[in-house]
Structure 1
Amino acid sequence: MKYVIFIIISCLLSSCKSSIIVPQRAVYQTEDFINVAISDFVSRCSLFKKDSVFEVTVKDTLVKLSFQSEQSRWVLDTIYSDILVVKFSGLTNKEWYYSDAVIGSKGKLASRYVIKNGKLFFWWDDNYPLTEETLAVFKEYDILTEVMERGWIPDSSIDDAKKGAHYYFCRKDAFRYKRVVTNITTGYYEPPKLKCK
């Protein structure tokens, strides 16, 4: 009987377990939050099946806006300094145009990535230089096209109906989070309630 209970508990725990291991820490790095969010997104979010390339965006501090109708503008409503947001968006325009992305440069092109189940997740990291390997992966996923004419920006369309996944984390606990799937950008809707310590 004890053996059966042990197997059931093990199965339950393994289904909740992250495929990316993030140790418990006193202070978490941004990459820890990204890894936890990717693990949940891959295993539990239906949006994972809809695209093959996902842009990851991090909002270090959540700022909520509200609309003032008498002035017809969005104004600052609330600052949530204890909340960090990790967002996933399926890439709509599959081509980026780059002209001055130099190996070793920082901030001109996304420089970090993870491949999970054959799908690419990428993000900008101003502290991490662009490498040959990263550039080769972006070319392999066919999201880069070199621009011959410096300063030319191609037309791109935005799909307002396309949904993304937003992960709201307690800044001090990478394992305390809630996911919201929506086509509204963060800051323009009420964030989920999190009990952060």
Structure 2
Amino acid sequence: MKSSVILLLLWLLLTDCYSQEKYIPQSTNFAEFAIYEAITDFADNCRLFKQDSVFNVHVEDTSRYVTLQRHQGILKWVCDSVYTNILVIEILGKRDKIGYYPNAVVGSKGKLPSKYVIVKGKLFYWRDRDYPLTEEMLSVLKKYNVLTDMIYDGMLPEFLIDDAQKGAHYYFCKNNLLKYKRIITSKAAGYYRPPKLKCGN
């Protein structure tokens, strides 16, 4: 009996791993490789994965840290530090819809997210300004009920901002994308010091 249970658990583990590999394709693109690594870890190991069904993925090519400083009596956000050796991937549950204009048509660039992956039935999407919007991408966004007209009956849609909502930030070493750290926070990336990574030169 025990051996049967062990075999069943091993089978479930193997099929789950196979499914994960199926949904997360391999990529030679630098940023996309980091995106897939982050999504894989997020789906397998982050509790935030269970809280939403649609996730926005954002890429910051260079990590920055800003601080609130007073200049001539006025408080301003000023760039304090720049970390050129760190790539940041942000994953946040999308609870508002994406507003779009009529010019967001198939073939357009930068109007709507143009890349996506579905993991365990949940949608992860991101923008690639060099990649055009496809019919498939548009269909997926509609299927997950992500879109809303920017102007409907002469009114702009309302967008809610939840400052308490937490997201996952992944900090990757650019010279070794297998080295990364995950931070769970309600702050936007750049408004706190990034974690220390031993990236080397």
1:97-116 aligned at under 5 Å gives the runs 97-116=100-119
2:43 paired with 1:42: yes
Aligned residue for 2:128, secondary structure, equals coil
Please list the CA deviations of residues 121-173 of structure 1 after superposition, one character each: whole Å capped at 9, or x if unmatched: 00000111100010000000001134566996422110000000000000121
1:160-171 aligned at under 5 Å gives the runs 160-171=163-174
2:168 paired with 1:136: no
Unmatched 5+ residue regions in structure 2?
1-13
Distance 1:158 1:123, change over 3 A: same
Please list the CA deviations of residues 65-88 of structure 1 after superposition, one character each: whole Å capped at 9, or x if unmatched: 012256422211000000000000
Aligned residue for 2:171, secondary structure, equals strand
Opposite residue 143 of structure 1, the aligned amino acid is V
Distance 1:152 1:125, change over 3 A: farther
Aligned-pair identity in percent equals 49
Opposite residue 31 of structure 1, the aligned amino acid is E
Aligned residue for 1:110, secondary structure, equals coil
Unmatched 5+ residue regions in structure 1?
1-13
2:92 paired with 1:89: yes
1:4-153 aligned at under 5 Å gives the runs 19=21, 20=24, 22=26, 29-69=30-70, 71-147=74-150, 153=156
Opposite residue 39 of structure 1, the aligned amino acid is T
Taking the aligned partners of 1:181 and 1:35, their CA distance within structure 2 comes to 18
Taking the aligned partners of 2:126 and 2:155, their CA distance within structure 1 comes to 23
The alpha-carbon deviation at position 97 of structure 1 amounts to 3.3
**Number of residue equivalences:** 182
Q: TM-score, normalised by structure 2?
A: 0.81
